[in-house]
Amino acid sequence: MSTARFTVSPLSLPSQSNLQKQNQNQNPPWIPTPQLLCKYPILRHLSSCKTLKDLTQIHAQTITTGIFSDNFVASRILSFAALSPHGSIPYARFLFYRIRKPDIFIANTLIRAYAFSPNPIDAVVFYSEMTESSVVFPDVHTFPLLLKACSEIPSLRLGEAIHSHVCKLGWSSEVSVSNFLVQMYASCGLIESAELVFDRTPECDGASWNIMIGGYLKCGVFESARRMFEAMPDRDVVSWSVMINGYVQESRFKEGLGLFQDMMEEKIEPNESVLVNTLSACAHLGAMEQGKWIERYMERKNVRLTVRLGTALIDMYSKCGSVERALEVFHKMKEKNVLAWSAMINGLAINGQGKDALNLFSQMEMQGAKPNEVTFIGILNACSHSKLVDEGCGFFHSMTSIYGLKPNAHHYCCMVDLYGRAGMLDQAQTVIKSMPFKPNSAIWGALLNACRIHGDTELGEQVGKRLLELEPNHGGRYVLLSNIYAACGRWDRVSELRRMMRERQVSKTPGCSFIDLGDTIHEFVAGDSSHPQLEMIYAKLGEMSQELKAAGYKPDTAQETALCHHSEKLAIAFGLIKTDPGTTIRITKNLRVCADCHSATKLISKIYNREIIVRDRCRFHHFRDGSCSCMDFW
DNA sequence: GTAGGGTTAG
């Protein structure tokens, strides 16, 4: 095994930060070594090669001069075609079959390109062609790539087949191979097999532990991941990033954020992926104070605002209800790609600034950025939340006619939502009928929500029943249907639904709200009795309901149970106690705001003279001076 | 005289 990893190069000196390291450019793999350049000066053109056409010219010259028959030359040209963003894998393959005696190095380059392409299975296909015709013989570098491909697909069948080749050819005790076996089994959900390979690896290295931890997280075995993380010999920045990213990816945001704080306390410098994932956790939790802290940290450490970091910041600020800050980041970004534009468009959309979102879309086009499917989700969201029905239809049709994009289920869902919210329930149903695929539950859910908004009990009942058949274990569907019944006073149906939920043992997702007070995120669930400052909060709630009554508020009896103790009311009470008069209160909740809480919050904003920003499951509500930015339309 | 593995946006 190579010992190069253990030599101390200037790049790994501890004085240099991870982020600075990442910002340093390393030569791409197709750039020849100085020795090779010395021998074949023509290859120096590879460093300025920008298109496939440039490459074909270099290729032609190497043929006419006869140097293409040197495999070192052929390998550099094939490497450009296979791995450069300006290359082409089919061209690389074409080159491969024109090399008289290809070696395993060249074959591995092509396998690598396939393994990281959108069709990783081609890596395995090429490998079997290559071995069947005995063109070249696999080596130790071949199997990690093949196993990576199997993890990407993911295909257990192929993975096991490759595993048997590994054993037959005697590579199974090689740590670089077994690491990928572990990853392959974990990606295919076979955590026990992954463990078995890990345990049998004679000499694990740092990566082995990280891969095993990542595997546990991917398979949802959090306790084992944490135990291993705490027990591992030397945790590096990647170990932390595997943990944090794993938690965030599995929607365990609070734990992810907690780990990030532990990491900071241990004075480990985060890399870009940790920052991106932590910001994503903040976005999900509505933890703006923590998100702001990360932005300040980046400024303090002179971290370059890459497209990914910029996009993550835009997303975080938009989802914490601060479009202004999101826009500031957006304008600060020197380099913007389609995802950055899309994040900003979506940010404006979910905060109810539909027109601004559409304006930004025109700017995006003027600057020559090409919208993709994600962009259109933002655009259609903008239209539906701002009741821009005609505009929305226009955009939906332009997707295919102008941009050549195929609308997927999300886009159709947006259309049902667009018509549905606007009260055009017939058109919403026409969209569902015209869809080229079977409507999923999200689409019926959008229609059901429209029935709730516009009080169409009859259609609501039909759609609701269909949804219950489709998703008998989804508590939220029962609640939505039962609210529709409650709104028109059909209490018999409400109790019938409750009985069904009991019988089927379906539980409601408990409503919970978060409030971020900078140092801690406080979580409240409906009827909470666990908070240490409980007495004070309930005293405040009592005062609030007195004030509300005096202002003419009548509780909305159309909804069910424990209304005055809904989690957002608890969080608002806590916010009123804990923050200075006049400051904005920001609440994030996991479900939609109920009608009663919505009207109560409007009044609270006026009585206490506070701006209250509530992010619910779907959108933002900016309550100010007795009214809400959603114009009672959500 | 060429490679490498753990992580990255809605």
The rounded mean pLDDT for chain A is 88
A494 touches strand B (CB under 7 A): no
- Could you tell me the CATH number of the domain that includes residue A423? 1.25.40
Q: Distance between CA atoms of A67 and A106, rounded to whole angstroms?
A: 16
User: Is A602 inside a domain boundary?
Assistant: yes
Residue A623: enclosing H or E segment and its boundaries? strand A620-624
* Amino acid occupying residue A323: V
- Running DSSP on this structure, what letter comes out for residue A368? T
A560: Cβ–Cβ under 8 A, 6 or more apart, which residues?
A: A479, A482, A483, A486, A494
Domain count, chain A: 4
Dump pLDDT digits (tens) for A373-394: 999 999 999 998 888 999 999 9
Distance A63 CA to B1 C1' (A): 21
Total count of residues recorded for chain A: 634
Distance A472 CA to B7 C1' (A): 37
In a shared domain, residues A113 and A170: yes
DSSP letters spanning A418-478: HHHHTT-HHHHHHHHHH-SS---HHHHHHHHHHHHHHT-HHHHHHHHHHHHHH-TT-HHHH
In a shared domain, residues A526 and A621: yes
CB distance A291 to A320 below 8 Å: yes
* Amino acid occupying residue A415: M
A313 touches strand B (CB under 7 A): no
A36 touches strand B (CB under 7 A): yes
User: Is A328 inside a domain boundary?
Assistant: no
Distance A377 CA to B10 C1' (A): 9
Backbone φ and ψ for A169, nearest 5 degrees, come out as: -90, 0
When mean pLDDT is compared across A56-70, A452-466, A548-562, the lowest value belongs to A548-562
Q: A515 - beta bridge partners?
A: A522, A587
In a shared domain, residues A527 and A620: yes
Give the closest nucleotide to A76 (alpha carbon vs C1').
Answer: B2
When mean pLDDT is compared across A13-17, A450-454, A462-466, A541-545, the lowest value belongs to A13-17
Give pLDDT, residue A338: 92
Dump pLDDT digits (tens) for A554-592: 776 555 444 567 888 889 999 999 999 989 998 888 887
In a shared domain, residues A434 and A485: yes
Give pLDDT, residue A206: 87
CB distance A626 to A610 below 8 Å: no
Distance A403 CA to B3 C1' (A): 40
In a shared domain, residues A91 and A109: no
Q: Decide: helix, strand or coil at residue A211.
A: helix
Distance A37 CA to B1 C1' (A): 10
In a shared domain, residues A68 and A140: no
In a shared domain, residues A44 and A134: no
Q: Decide: helix, strand or coil at residue A614.
A: strand
Give the closest nucleotide to A245 (alpha carbon vs C1').
Answer: B7
Q: Which residue has the tokens 């950025």?
A: A369
- The angle subtended at Cα A185 by Cα A181 and Cα A187, nearest 5°, is 115
A179 touches strand B (CB under 7 A): yes
Dump pLDDT digits (tens) for A275-328: 999 999 999 988 899 999 999 999 999 999 999 999 999 999 999 989 999 999
Q: Which band of pLDDT confidence, cut at 50, 70 and 90, is reported for residue A477?
A: confident
Give pLDDT, residue A15: 37
A72 touches strand B (CB under 7 A): yes
A274 touches strand B (CB under 7 A): yes
A184, two tokens: 């392959």
CB distance A618 to A413 below 8 Å: no
Give pLDDT, residue A282: 94
* Residue at the smallest CA–C1' distance to nucleotide B2: A72
Dump pLDDT digits (tens) for A406-443: 999 999 999 999 999 889 999 999 999 999 988 888 89
**Chain A residues 559-618, Cβ below 7 A from strand B:** none
In a shared domain, residues A464 and A546: no
Question: Quick check: A1 pLDDT over 80?
Answer: no
A510: Cβ–Cβ under 8 A, 6 or more apart, which residues?
A: A525, A526, A567
Distance A212 CA to B5 C1' (A): 13
In a shared domain, residues A463 and A481: yes
Distance A483 CA to B4 C1' (A): 57
A160 touches strand B (CB under 7 A): no
What is the mean pLDDT of the segment spanning A508-519?
Answer: 79
In a shared domain, residues A133 and A78: no
User: Is A39 inside a domain boundary?
Assistant: yes
Neighbours of A342 (CB within 10 A): 26
* Residue at the smallest CA–C1' distance to nucleotide B8: A273
Distance A273 CA to B2 C1' (A): 30
In a shared domain, residues A75 and A179: no
Last residue of a domain, one of A453, A486, A503: A503
User: Is A236 inside a domain boundary?
Assistant: no
**Chain A residues 357-386, Cβ below 7 A from strand B:** 373-374, 377
CB distance A285 to A248 below 8 Å: no
Task: Report how far apart, in Å, the C-alpha atoms of A170 and of each of A134, A174, A198, A588 are.
Answer: 18, 9, 17, 55
A10, two tokens: 């200037």
User: Is A90 inside a domain boundary?
Assistant: yes
CB distance A399 to A407 below 8 Å: yes
What is the mean pLDDT of the segment spanning A501-526?
Answer: 81
- Running DSSP on this structure, what letter comes out for residue A565? G
User: Is A386 inside a domain boundary?
Assistant: no
Dump pLDDT digits (tens) for A224-262: 999 999 998 788 899 999 999 999 998 899 899 999 999
Last residue of a domain, one of A100, A121, A154: A100
CB distance A342 to A378 below 8 Å: yes
User: Is A270 inside a domain boundary?
Assistant: no
A183 touches strand B (CB under 7 A): yes
Question: Quick check: A10 pLDDT over 80?
Answer: no
Mark the nucleotides of strand B covered by protein, meaning any atom under 7 Å from a CB. Answer: 1-10
Backbone φ and ψ for A515, nearest 5 degrees, come out as: -130, 130
Last residue of a domain, one of A203, A235, A252: A203
Dump pLDDT digits (tens) for A169-216: 999 989 999 999 999 999 999 999 999 999 999 888 889 999 999 999
In a shared domain, residues A472 and A557: no
User: Is A542 inside a domain boundary?
Assistant: yes
Residue A576: domain span: 512-628
Question: Quick check: A355 pLDDT over 60?
Answer: yes
Give the closest nucleotide to A377 (alpha carbon vs C1').
Answer: B10
CB distance A605 to A532 below 8 Å: no
